[in-house]
Amino acid sequence: MSTHLAAVLKGKGQPFEIQSRPTPKPGPNELLVAVKSVAFNPADTFMRSQGFFITEYPTVTGFDMAGVVLEAGENVPTGDDKTSICFQPGTRIVAYSASAWRSCVPDYGAFQEKCLVPWQHAVPLPDENMSWNHAATLPVSVQVPLSAWDQMSIPRTEEKTTNSSKPVEKNQVLLIWGASSSVGTMGVQSARLMCQDPDSPFAAVYATAGSDNLEYIRSLGADHVFDYKGPNVVDAMVSKAQDSGLVIRHCFLAVGNLSLCQDVLKAFAKPGEKKAKVVSAPPLPEDVKDVEGVQVTFVMPSLVEEERLEQFRYWMGTWLGKKLAEGSIRPSPEPSVVGKGLEFVNEAVDRMAQGSDNEEGRVGFEVKPIGRSAAPHNFHCSLWTSFGFSSSRGNGQCASGKKEKIRG
pLDDT tens, position by position, 159-194: 765 566 678 899 999 999 999 999 999 999 999 999
Q: By CB neighbour count within 10 A (0-12 exposed, 13-18 middle, 19+ buried), where does 280 fall?
A: buried
**Cα–Cα distance measured from residue 374 to residue 36, given in angstroms and rounded to the nearest whole number:** 15
Q: How many CB atoms lie within 10 A of CB 314?
A: 17
Supply the pLDDT for residue 129. Answer: 87
* Domain 3-137+331-384 CATH class label: alpha beta
Q: Any alpha helices (H) in 65-203, and if so which ranges?
A: 132-136, 138-151, 182-196
> Where are the CATH 3.40.50.720 domain residues in the chain?
147-298
Cα 271 to Cα 170, 234, 275, 276, 348: the distances in Å are 22, 21, 9, 11, 48
pTM, full prediction:
0.87
Phi, psi of 184 (to 5 degrees): -70, -40
CATH superfamily of 147-298: NAD(P)-binding Rossmann-like Domain (3.40.50.720)
> Per-residue pLDDT tens for 12-45?
999 999 999 999 999 999 999 999 988 888 889 9
Supply the pLDDT for residue 168. Answer: 86
The pairs formed by 291-295 with CB atoms below 8 angstroms and a separation of 24 or more are 291/262, 291/263, 291/265, 291/266, 292/266, 293/265, 293/266, 293/269, 294/262, 294/265, 294/266, 294/269
3-state secondary structure of 102: coil
> Where are the CATH 3.90.180.10 domain residues in the chain?
3-137+331-384
Supply the pLDDT for residue 365. Answer: 42
